[in-house]
């Protein structure tokens, strides 16, 4: 195999060369025996592969199943993107708008969570719902690793928000991985920690507008702790004690560069 040009033949055959380059290479191939043979072999392999390897088509039964599943699914963004009523304070009292979608989700989970309680901000509803979904078997984590050098780049490649990712194993909060979820119609990055037998989800999303002080709540057996840093909103949720969430919050705060802490 002598000709240096043959390395680019795959690009030519895959249609990845710009027209002038392709034309130049074609002219070369016309005069080069090595490259002609190489191209014939490339084409023969492709033809044989396409003859032998089937392109599987979705079975009709699967199509029907998916159609039914979509039917049962709430139209997600239609519900979550609806603006709050003009008279209500931002983010409050509009759980009613989202409660249809939420109720469907939760009913599907057979979870007896009372929805639409007026004072519960919709975002925290979403956090609870997402956390419940995540507790279903096999759904907690998209990227499973205790290595921040694995989790951090995964977020960089998948998420709108690159959250602080630190393993606090020494302090009892073991980094378990990350996933993407949705709160209030926003894509949130979720950093997952294990704390003893408990799973802690830390939701992080961009929310430059709201000024929300740190607050702790309890809902349906879960503790929620919300805080902000810079233009990022944080909400930690778990069935562990509130003090543990506060400890994790303090650790995360300290891990941020000084100007982004508040």
Partner 1 sequence: MADRRRFEAEVLVHLDAAYNLARWLVRAPADADDVVQDAVLRAYRADGDRRGADARPWLLAIVRHCALRHLERRGRALRREAGAEGEEALLGLAAPEADEPLAAALRAESQGSLAAALEALPAGFREVLVLRELEDLSYREIAAVIDAPVGTVMSRLARARAALRAFWQAGRPEAGHGLR
Q: Which is nearer to partner 1, 54 or 259 (CB)?
A: 54
Distance CA 133, CA 131 (A): 5
Q: How many residues does the chain have?
A: 262
Look up residue 161 and give its DSSP letter: S
Distance CA 88, CA 20 (A): 62
Q: 3-state DSSP call for residue 63?
A: helix
Q: Which is nearer to partner 1, 8 or 92 (CB)?
A: 8
Query: Three-state SS across 176-231?
Result: EEEEEEEECCEEEEEEEEEECCEEEEEEEEECCCCCCCCEEEEECCEEEEEEEECC
Q: Which is nearer to partner 1, 65 or 117 (CB)?
A: 65
Least distance CB 47 / partner 1 (angstroms): 10
Least distance CB 184 / partner 1 (angstroms): 12
Q: Which is nearer to partner 1, 38 or 207 (CB)?
A: 38
Q: Which is nearer to partner 1, 33 or 243 (CB)?
A: 33
Least distance CB 60 / partner 1 (angstroms): 11
Least distance CB 38 / partner 1 (angstroms): 8
Least distance CB 220 / partner 1 (angstroms): 22
End-to-end CA distance of the chain: 63
Least distance CB 53 / partner 1 (angstroms): 4
Q: Which residues bind partner 1 (CB under 8 A)?
A: 1, 10-11, 14-16, 37-38, 41-42, 44-46, 48-50, 52-59, 61-63, 65-66, 69-70, 73, 75-78, 81, 138, 142, 144, 157-158, 182, 185, 187
The stretches of the chain forming alpha helices (DSSP H) are 9-13, 19-31, 33-52, 60-72, 76-80, 95-109, 122-135, 148-158, 242-255
Q: Which is nearer to partner 1, 186 or 219 (CB)?
A: 186
Q: Who contacts 113 (Cβ-Cβ below 8 Å, separation ≥6)?
A: 106, 128, 129, 132, 219, 220
Distance CA 32, CA 14 (A): 20
Least distance CB 173 / partner 1 (angstroms): 23
Q: Which is nearer to partner 1, 225 or 232 (CB)?
A: 232
């Amino acid at each position: 195999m002598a000709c240096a040009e043959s390395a680019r033949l795959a690009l030519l055959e895959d249609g990845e060369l710009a027209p002038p380059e392709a034309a130049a290479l074609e002219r070369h191939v016309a005069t080069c025996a090595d490259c002609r043979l190489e191209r014939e072999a490339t084409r023969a392999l492709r033809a044989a592969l396409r003859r032998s390897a089937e392109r599987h088509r979705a079975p009709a039964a699967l199509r029907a199943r998916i159609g039914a599943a979509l039917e049962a699914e709430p139209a997600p963004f239609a519900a979550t993107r609806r603006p709050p009523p003009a008279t209500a304070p931002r983010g409050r009292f509009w759980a009613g708008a989202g409660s249809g979608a939420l109720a469907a989700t939760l009913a599907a989970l057979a979870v007896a969570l009372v929805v639409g309680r007026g004072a519960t901000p919709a975002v925290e509803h979403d956090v609870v719902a997402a956390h419940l979904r995540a507790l279903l078997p096999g759904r907690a984590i998209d990227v499973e690793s205790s290595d921040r050098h694995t989790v951090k780049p995964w977020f960089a490649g998948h998420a709108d928000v690159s959250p602080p990712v630190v393993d606090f194993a020494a302090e009892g909060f073991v980094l378990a991985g990350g996933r993407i979820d949705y709160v209030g119609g926003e894509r949130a990055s979720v950093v997952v920690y294990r704390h003893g037998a408990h799973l802690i989800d830390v939701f992080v999303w961009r929310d430059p507008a709201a000024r929300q002080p740190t607050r702790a709540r309890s809902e349906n057996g879960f503790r929620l702790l919300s805080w902000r840093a810079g233009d990022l909103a944080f909400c930690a949720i778990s069935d562990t004690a509130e003090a543990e969430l506060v400890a994790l919050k303090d650790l995360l705060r300290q891990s941020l560069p000084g100007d982004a802490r508040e």
